[in-house]
Structure 1
Amino acid sequence: MLYRSIMLAVAWAAALSTASAWAAPPADLARYVNPMVGTGGHGHTFPGPTLPFGMIQPGPDTRLTGWDGSSGYHDSDRVVYGFSHTHLSGTGVSDYGDILLLPATGKVKWASGYRYKGEDPLPFDGSGYGSQFDKASERAEAGYYGVTLKDYGVRAEITTTLRTALHRWTFARADQAHVMLDLSHRGELLAAGLNVLDDRTVAGWRRTKAWAANRPVYFIVRFDHPFKRLAGPMGQEQIKAALAFDLKAGEVLQAQVGISAVDAKGAAANLAAEQKGFAFDKVRQQARAAWNRQLSRIEVEGSSEKDTRVFYTALYHSFVQPNTFQDVDGRYLGRDGRVHLSHDGTRYSVFSLWDTFRAAHPLYSIVERRRSEDFIKTFIAQFNEGGRLPVWELWGNETDCMIAYHVVSVIADAYAKGIRGFDAKAALHAMVKSAEVDKYGLTTYRKQGYLQGDEEAESVSKTLEYAYDDWCIAVLATALGEKDIAQRFAARAEGWRNLIDEQGHVHPRVKGRWLEGYDPAEVSVNFTEANGWQYGFFVPHNIEGFIARVGGKEKFLQLLDDCFNAQQGLSGRHQVDITGLIGQYAHGNEPSHHMAYLYAYGGQPWKTQALVKRLMDEMYNDTPDGLAGNEDCGQMSAWYVMSALGLYSVTPGQPNYVIGTPRFRRATIHLENGRRFTIRADGAGPYIQAAQLNGKRWSPVWLAHDAIMQGGELRFSMAATPSQWGSAVAERPRSGQVHAVEQVVLAPVASGPYRFKDTAVLDAQVMEPVDAIHYSVDGSEPDAASPLWHGPLTVSATTTLKLRARRGQYWSPVTEVPAVKLSEQLKITLKHAPNGQYAAGGAAALVDGIRGGNDFRLGGWLGFYGVDLDGVIDLGEQRKLRRVAVNFLQDQNSWIFMPRALEVETSSDGMQWTLLGTVQNMVDEHADGSIIRELAVNADGKAGRYVRVRGVAPVWCPDWHKGQGNRSFIFADEITVE
């Protein structure tokens, strides 16, 4: 019946839909856009102009270091150090800021006046270039930015085309008017070149290292007045230039800038194609018209003026990126560092896929379908060029930032929604290959179906996200008739089941056991920018299976309530991304974004409606601090756009949307196929009382993607009180259809100590019914011939217990359970407890004979925060000592440094101590990466029962370090006494 109703509704919609593309002159929707939103707080947006999906983003640079300087601008700043031509929108890592121009007057200052200590900006140094400005003089709108540089008496304005910028500078005074061009601005400069082509044109290039490891940018700047290049500091001719202009007070100077990632020819061609003259007002009008066309894809009405501003600013930010990445002649920089020519659409860059697969790309699947095809063609091209699909691609570089391979979600979702103008077979091949690399724990994940905390950092997050991505691969494989691939990845997609404990929480596993002392509120190395609550519901591809696994609908709903109503705050390490809290829900970071919609799956859609309204009310504003967290290349804004429409894609890869609560009385989506889909909300309040799709009663709390594409009207009756609409079992949304639950047997979970003195009792359980558990203690892999597990096992020597469960013909992965017997003679007491995040199970880990690996996050290392490693080892008897050594680890990017020195003392009674020796650290504190060094002292046969080791902590991060002003760590494991 439901299927027939949908078909009737679709047919009705098709009859009413217009036959031609949306062609009405767009209204001036750009007037609602405020590019300053997100430039304050931790939004990390930039206020400068750009075009939809434009290559160039010129704008002011006010902050060049620190997390809140990621975009190069922060609303709280009052000094402009210049105007660069590339900026990132809402990222959590810094890059870009290419080709700085600064119009100035007076004596030329060759160095920037920006000063900082660590990552923190210091007051403006007036001996360098830069100008103060008043916020009242600043104006930002779609396609335009202007500010008055108070110290120079210059009104600076910028507008843009797709690949070029146009500056207009009005000099109120013109004494020694000049423009500073600085190629050393922002990022580590690897190489650069600068050439004066004539008295109006300068061109060049620079190559930098920051987030992207090797990023070339070519440029050309053309002025409408002649200039004279002033002599600068020796040796800086290729990175800086001061260009002097003979101007009168009140005169206007203009500059056009073209850029390219390919070569100088590309930059010049881009400029020649997109700017025919110095027509600032015309270019500005064209930029605004481009934004009005883009924004008119969705028209809203019938809410407050503020809501309209928030909506269109969010829609604007959703369309800032990905960025066009090919020149007007079709050439682009490939992932292999070579120049390629696109023959099949436009190539793009800046794919923040861990963020944007959740809401931004589902939004594009509705209003940017042709561009979505080009995104996927870009992905396939990058695979062909670099051997892997993108994870977090930036200017032709793979940064490998964030986890999983969510590009597969974008591809599967697009295909499921009828976007098929790409080679799907090639896409599937690339998806499979990218999921089978031997990096980031994938080798272990493929073998056992999940990751443990001692095997891989962020083990829980990676397991859950790999599982979802594998389901996406299974979805596309099923659609293409690739049954073997579909079955294999559908089975992989169910590995999340291994990490759900008896309380229904996702729970890290370590050495075959549940992590002891686990608190889901604790932010730890087992999660990616989150804790167990914020990742506790990430099984979007099998929500029904998740509900059953945690104990049923009532338990599932109780867990949701506990999360959103939690009074307990965050614990564990400080994580700047976790913001926008409601209970333990964190709207300021992406793992939580689907959670408010999950109530609909449990039959309580009114709770979804109330929560979504609250999130739109509290987490978004039309002010600079109007975002609850990083914008993240459109995801934060796309969540608002979709939610304001009343729809959200909880499971990208499945062509439907969960219904939330519409924000506007009417929202009209103008589709590329010429049809339109309208969402109406009659009445006041967030709660849906009833709904109609194309004039017929609609009771499901979800909507098919095809219903939107066919055009028509979804109409809601709203009220201020909850109703039971959409709560019946038949009306609830369903998650993905490709599952292989019968093939998945969960790995047994062990209990019992990892380290013991005399004996240890080991036990095991399974979290779902099985036919049998087999085990071994001889190193072999358990099979049907191995002993059956019937109960606890007592061991008195170091042992590795292996467990394997069987159900029918299917076997679980092997659970390895090491149990290490400690030496009777070595006992250690610490003066300072290790940091709780890096305690390695206690002080005994320092003398258990097992050394930590290269990754400090995996639990083998003890971390001491701002204090010495200071421990006394009791050997049990007087012994002659030959050598005492301690293993230390440095990873300065994580604020971990070598101790300044190792001091070793000995004593016969634990009271009177004799210094055996001191050894100084010789590792450079600036060195990158994970570095392990053993510091050792020779004892020359001196006797003692007690040995004291002291790793002398540096206590504080160095002045040069990004953590300057904060305490530092030292990490130790293992202590050896010979």
Structure 2
Amino acid sequence: MSAIKFVLRNVLAFTLLFATASVALAQKVEKKKEKDYAQLVDPFIGTGGHGHTYPGAVLPFGMVQLSPDTRLTGWDGCSGYHFTDTVVYGFSHTHLSGTGIADYCDVLFMPTTGDPQFKNTDYRSGFKKKNELASPGYYKTLLDKYNIGVELTATTRVGVHRYNYPSTPKANIIIDLQHRDMVIDSWIEVVNDHEVRGFRESRSWAKGQRVYFYAKFSKPFKTYGIASDDQLQKGQKKAEGKNIKMYLQFDNPGEVISKVGISAVSAEGALKNLDAEVPDFDFKKTQKAARATWNAELNKIQVEGGAPTVAQATQAAQTELKASGGANGRVPKEKRPVVPDYSHIKQTIFYTALYHAMLAPNIYNDVDGQYLGLDQKVHTAQGFNYYTVFSLWDTFRAENPLLTLIDRKRTSDFIKTFLAMYEQGGLLPIWPLASTETYCMIGNHSIPVIVDSYAKGIRDFDAAEAFTAMKAAVNRDQFGLDNYRKNGAVQADSQPASVSKTLEYAYDDWCIAQMAKMLDKTQDYTEYIQRAQYWKNVYNNQNGFMQARINGGWFAPFNPTDINRNYTEGNSWQYSFLVPQDVDGLITRMGGKQAFEAKLDELFTTESKLSGNAPPDVAGLIGQYAHGNEPSHHMAYLYNFTDSPDKTQFYIDRILREEYSEKPDGLAGNEDCGQMSAWYVMSSLGIYNIAPGQNQFMVGIPQFDKATVYLENGKKFVITNPGAGISRANTYLQGMNLAKKSYNKLYLNYSDMADGGEFEVFTGRLSNKLFLQDLEKPVSTITDNPIVTNPYIIAPSKTFKQPFSIQIKSADTDAKIYYTLDGSAPTAGSILYSAPIIISASTTVKAVAIVNGKSSFVDEASFVKGN
């Protein structure tokens, strides 16, 4: 028996060992194999044209953005750098990625030789593009004037410089605290012959931005000098003022490494950051760690293929040439094609886009959790990182949904930051920069970020407080919100950008309604789902455009191409489709799916040009579709609601090809802190959420043979499209499988992706109408508590001399209109409108539309008789 037990015991042990080994092997197979995607990133993309990006060293969402400053003024100098420049002023530690307003570029360091100079026109240097190199976490250049090699790298809160000087007894580092913005106050202090520290408070877009810094140097400086108003102050170790600069001088040092920690809290905080993140002077180690950090982030999405191989493309091109090469079919050597690797190019654009989508927001707390709040007091973040630089009007559309998919922990920190800002500043953020709320752009778009995150299961924050904060944001009396609540639309004579504000406020209200539903708050849901329909009050059913309301009627003269005070960075074409929360309702208002499709066709194909006061933001035009600005970003996906979803596929393909490239001007417009690039990432994956807060992702056209999205729950969602490599021309959907089963919807639910799986897409060169017409369309509709649309008054003018007639109409065909002429509020007991009204004296006309006992808002117009 003992022998049998021995055998059985060993068999069992072997079986367990084999099973354990098998599981380990399976786990090893399943484990993500990280690739060096950093080699595909080109930080110079977007630094030309109007992209407004910078090429310097930064970590994902880092506090420090260490980059060269080549341009100090002008719209295309917002990031401090433009690719066309050939002169550099120095290397500062903070930069904004792709904004349309300038700020940052704090604490400039510039290595020089010879006698120190303090005016930037004296110490600046030329440089050549051939000597520039940039990759994630690293930048390199050569200063021609001084023959100094400059290398930069960074950690989250520390910038590290490496300067290689020629042989010289006067090797300097200029520290300029006056650089660029208006300085409110600054100071600098020598600690010892290896260390300096300082402070700068400046005013630009952010009103009162504070930066402390602490710098350590790998070699002792032999002398130094502090200048106030560009005049040396003899014997001083510390100086304070609005124009403070310093030079440090080394005697033939060869290589000098400078490491600079920054903080918004204190110089001590900057020192803590410095010592914690860069304890030594090993530049290569810091650079290597930066690249590894970037690769960890970039590997969250792994793509393969995406275009024909060089061999395939060359063969195709040669075949085409031979077909027209004469009787013998020979192709002269000089005419043989040189075909670039388009797959490599597409992956370069993709990973650079993913890189750009991870540059902002920026961590703002020190390593000990301390940060400067919007109340200008120091607070400590407990269990989360506090962020700043939220370009929410832009990023709620694609960047935040992207991060909600691949970076849920960071998204949770964003929301906790929002709530901290609410607690300390009294308002959810709109466009916070450093410790300032800039109130830039319109809407309250931290709301969709919160709601979308909650809908997708990110719930480790105080939802009750968030809901209270959201309601407080939209019920304050600021930026026309009081006018919006009173009239059901912002009136043009009350506020600029009245149409845009109405549309974006209505979307935010829809988001609040979704949160109310998830929190089981029925009364709140009823209120906000009605407010979500206020877009109907600026939709002119007579011409099919979103049009400003003024004096009871429509703003005139009206031209949909005009960019005027009624819209934010756009015109009526670019805002008439901005109803992502109720696309089906918009389709109905436009006359049905065919009419809606025809309107979309006109948007993309019209030859009409922009008119009015067109800012450079409205760029990347295809017809009147403006990809260079965010309100257009969802519009190509709206064809999925029509009988021609192949047009979504056509235009997404076209936008990806035409509005993005691997060149410095490879962005259609401002990068806007990641939104322009996030659109590319999401659309390349073949998914796009047109209404964050709703868990539907539109199906577009995947651009890669295979894309693997690694989720934080350890699972992965794989998207395949073997047809992505067929050609560089348009491709169309021919079939789909989800989890190896036939799939027949033009959308994916978030739940389809959240637990991992595989989405197979099959594409071809020809549109497959037969396949597409049977696919289930997405749903975006508001059916609960429908509102009655405001009536509108048609009149020639507000002032008159001779009697004239007015008409009162309603977009609701079953509505009855009641009006008064004595200034009283109209009700169902007032005069029923049935024919034009003659106005012969100064009169205030008030009207309501009523359907089944339910009333619209009061529509009011005043007419003044002159002499």
> Paired residue for 1:765?
809
Letter in 2 for 1:751: A
Q: Post-superposition shift, 1:517? A: 2.5
Q: Which moved more, 1:229-238 or 1:504-513?
A: 229-238
Q: Which moved more, 1:398-407 or 1:172-181?
A: 172-181
Q: Post-superposition shift, 1:20? A: 9.8
Aligned counterpart in structure 2 of residue 230 of structure 1, from 221, 225, 238? 225
Aligned counterpart in structure 2 of residue 435 of structure 1, from 471, 474, 484? 474
Letter in 2 for 1:255: S
Q: Post-superposition shift, 1:534? A: 0.7
Q: Distance in 2 between matches of 1:264 and 1:216?
A: 11
> Paired residue for 1:580?
620
SS where residue 568 of structure 1 aligns?
coil
> Paired residue for 1:246?
250
> Paired residue for 2:289?
286
Matched, 1:798 2:837: no
Relative distance call for 1:110 and 1:776 in structure 2 (3 A) is same
Equivalent pair of 1:412/1:476 in contact (CA under 8 Å): yes
> Paired residue for 2:330?
none
Structure 2: gaps of 5 or more residues: 1-22, 234-238, 307-342
Equivalent pair of 1:200/1:222 in contact (CA under 8 Å): yes
Q: Deviations over 1:259-313 (max 9, x none)?
A: 0011111101000100111000000000000000000000000121100000000
Q: Post-superposition shift, 1:755? A: 1.5
Matches within 5 A, 1:677-826: 677-683=717-723, 684=726, 686-724=731-769, 727-728=772-773, 731-735=776-780, 739-823=783-867
Relative distance call for 1:339 and 1:603 in structure 2 (3 A) is same
Structure 1: gaps of 5 or more residues: 1-14, 114-127, 824-978
Matches within 5 A, 1:510-549: 510-549=550-589
Equivalent pair of 1:748/1:805 in contact (CA under 8 Å): no
Letter in 2 for 1:163: R
Equivalent pair of 2:397/2:692 in contact (CA under 8 Å): yes
Q: Distance in 2 between matches of 1:177 and 1:235?
A: 18
Relative distance call for 1:521 and 1:19 in structure 2 (3 A) is farther
Q: Distance in 1 between matches of 2:755 and 2:808?
A: 54
Letter in 2 for 1:48: G
Relative distance call for 1:771 and 1:141 in structure 2 (3 A) is closer
Q: Post-superposition shift, 1:576? A: 0.9
Q: Post-superposition shift, 1:230? A: 2.2
Q: Deviations over 1:849-887 (max 9, x none)?
A: xxxxxxxxxxxxxxxxxxxxxxxxxxxxxxxxxxxxxxx
> Paired residue for 1:326?
365
Matched, 1:68 2:112: no
Equivalent pair of 1:495/1:744 in contact (CA under 8 Å): no
Q: RMSD of the alignment, in Å?
A: 1.7
Matched, 1:261 2:255: no
Q: Distance in 2 between matches of 1:229 and 1:390?
A: 43
SS where residue 546 of structure 2 aligns?
coil
Q: Distance in 2 between matches of 1:800 and 1:730?
A: 52
SS where residue 708 of structure 2 aligns?
strand
Letter in 2 for 1:177: A
SS where residue 806 of structure 1 aligns?
strand
Q: Distance in 2 between matches of 1:133 and 1:735?
A: 53
Matches within 5 A, 1:227-626: 227=221, 228-230=223-225, 232=227, 233-234=230-231, 237-238=239-240, 239-248=243-252, 251-303=254-306, 304-501=343-540, 502-626=542-666
Equivalent pair of 2:226/2:232 in contact (CA under 8 Å): no
Q: Deviations over 1:878-905 (max 9, x none)?
A: xxxxxxxxxxxxxxxxxxxxxxxxxxxx
Relative distance call for 1:220 and 1:646 in structure 2 (3 A) is same
Relative distance call for 1:98 and 1:23 in structure 2 (3 A) is farther
Equivalent pair of 1:178/1:242 in contact (CA under 8 Å): no
Aligned residues with identical type, % of pairs? 44
Q: Which moved more, 1:28-37 or 1:419-428?
A: 419-428
Relative distance call for 1:21 and 1:62 in structure 2 (3 A) is farther
> Paired residue for 1:866?
none
- Paired residues in the alignment total 792
> Paired residue for 1:28?
36
Letter in 2 for 1:66: G
SS where residue 340 of structure 1 aligns?
strand
Letter in 2 for 1:604: S
Q: Post-superposition shift, 1:241? A: 3.6
Q: Distance in 2 between matches of 1:490 and 1:590?
A: 24
Letter in 2 for 1:696: K
Q: Post-superposition shift, 1:724? A: 2.5
Letter in 1 for 2:756: G
Q: Post-superposition shift, 1:25? A: 4.6
> Paired residue for 2:151?
157
Matched, 1:84 2:92: yes
> Paired residue for 2:16?
none
Q: Distance in 2 between matches of 1:690 and 1:649?
A: 21
Q: Distance in 2 between matches of 1:38 and 1:674?
A: 33
> Paired residue for 1:909?
none
> Paired residue for 2:15?
none
Relative distance call for 1:812 and 1:235 in structure 2 (3 A) is farther
> Paired residue for 1:189?
183
Q: Post-superposition shift, 1:452? A: 2.3
Equivalent pair of 2:734/2:771 in contact (CA under 8 Å): no
Letter in 2 for 1:758: Q
Equivalent pair of 1:60/1:81 in contact (CA under 8 Å): yes
Equivalent pair of 1:18/1:674 in contact (CA under 8 Å): no
Q: Distance in 2 between matches of 1:686 and 1:660?
A: 11
Q: Distance in 1 between matches of 2:600 and 2:132?
A: 44
Bigger proportion of residues as helix: 2
Q: Distance in 1 between matches of 2:481 and 2:705?
A: 47
Equivalent pair of 1:504/1:551 in contact (CA under 8 Å): no
Equivalent pair of 2:226/2:244 in contact (CA under 8 Å): no
Matches within 5 A, 1:903-922: none
Q: Post-superposition shift, 1:566? A: 0.4
Q: Post-superposition shift, 1:255? A: 0.4
Q: Post-superposition shift, 1:758? A: 1.7
Letter in 1 for 2:706: R
Q: Which moved more, 1:510-519 or 1:704-713?
A: 510-519
Equivalent pair of 1:60/1:80 in contact (CA under 8 Å): yes
Letter in 1 for 2:301: I
Equivalent pair of 2:573/2:625 in contact (CA under 8 Å): yes
> Paired residue for 1:174?
168
Relative distance call for 1:342 and 1:22 in structure 2 (3 A) is farther
Q: Post-superposition shift, 1:335? A: 1.1
TM-score normalised by the chain length of structure 2: 0.89
SS where residue 721 of structure 2 aligns?
strand
SS where residue 454 of structure 2 aligns?
helix
TM-score normalised by the chain length of structure 1: 0.79
Q: Post-superposition shift, 1:179? A: 0.7
Relative distance call for 1:730 and 1:618 in structure 2 (3 A) is closer
Q: Distance in 1 between matches of 2:399 and 2:194?
A: 42
Equivalent pair of 2:788/2:850 in contact (CA under 8 Å): no
Matched, 1:200 2:194: yes
Q: Deviations over 1:67-124 (max 9, x none)?
A: 10000000000011011000000000000010000000122211111xxxxxxxxxxx
Q: Deviations over 1:899-958 (max 9, x none)?
A: xxxxxxxxxxxxxxxxxxxxxxxxxxxxxxxxxxxxxxxxxxxxxxxxxxxxxxxxxxxx
SS where residue 528 of structure 2 aligns?
helix
